[in-house]
């Protein structure tokens, strides 16, 4: 059996995006666009104080100046750009299995899919939180809903479980 290669020894492969990859990238970009547009559209209508933090039950428990509505879009933009940048370098990722010349391409495809799913989920979640902040400020009843935390945790941890299961299952794939 071959030894695992170090990050420097791993092959640098140009992966072609599948239709599913392109859809995930589109969903992430749409989520980012919504996240950036929402504050621009509603900023003038916002009162001076808006909800800025929500507890585990989804109820607002922190408030701040309306300029804080721009924090989530700025953080989201940074996350989007970092995830896009890193996803072009799957040879430097940490993997739960040994990377060999035989399994590198499949492992890279699975890992980059993980990043795309997480990027799309994070952008949509951030857009929803931003929407909740704005609607809460405008209506005076700030809440993301009681199931928001469970949806968030399910999306993130469900994706990670899928990735680990897939990566281990395909560790010896020879393609």
User: Does residue 52 sit within a domain?
Assistant: yes
User: Does residue 7 sit within a domain?
Assistant: no
User: Does residue 175 sit within a domain?
Assistant: no
Q: Position of tokens 């589109």? A: 26
Which DSSP category does 97 fall into? S
How buried is 94 (Cβ within 10 angstroms: 0-12 exposed, 13-18 middle, 19+ buried)?
exposed
Domain membership of residue 56 as a residue range: 19-169
Residue 62: phi and psi, rounded to 5, are -150, 140
Q: Evaluate if pTM is beyond 0.85.
A: yes
Percent of the chain beyond pLDDT 90? 72
Question: Considering only CA atoms, which of 53, 41, 31 is closest in space to residue 126?
Answer: 31
Across the range 92-96, mean pLDDT stands at: 92
Express each pLDDT in 61-87 by its tens digit. Answer: 999 999 999 999 999 999 999 999 999
User: Does residue 81 sit within a domain?
Assistant: yes
| Structural domain total, the chain | 1
User: Does residue 174 sit within a domain?
Assistant: no
Express each pLDDT in 103-155 by its tens digit. Answer: 999 999 999 999 999 999 999 999 999 999 999 999 988 888 888 989 999 99
**Which stretch of DSSP H or E encloses residue 137?**
helix 104-139
């Amino acid at each position: 059996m071959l030894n695992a290669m170090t990050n420097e020894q791993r092959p640098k492969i140009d992966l072609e995006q599948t239709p599913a990859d392109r859809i995930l990238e589109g969903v992430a970009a749409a989520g980012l666009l919504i996240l950036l547009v929402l504050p621009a559209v509603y900023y003038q209508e916002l009162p001076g104080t808006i909800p800025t933090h929500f507890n585990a039950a989804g109820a607002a428990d922190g408030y701040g100046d309306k300029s804080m509505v721009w924090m989530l879009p700025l953080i989201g933009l940074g996350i989007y750009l970092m995830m896009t940048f890193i996803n072009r370098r799957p040879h430097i990722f940490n993997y739960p299995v040994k990377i060999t010349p035989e399994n590198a391409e499949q492992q890279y495809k699975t890992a980059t899919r993980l990043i795309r799913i997480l990027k799309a989920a994070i952008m949509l979640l951030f857009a929803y939180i931003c929407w909740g902040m704005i609607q809460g400020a405008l209506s005076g009843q700030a809440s993301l809903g009681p199931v928001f935390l469970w949806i968030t945790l399910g999306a993130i941890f469900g994706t990670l479980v899928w990735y680990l299961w897939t990566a281990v299952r395909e560790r010896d794939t020879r393609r």
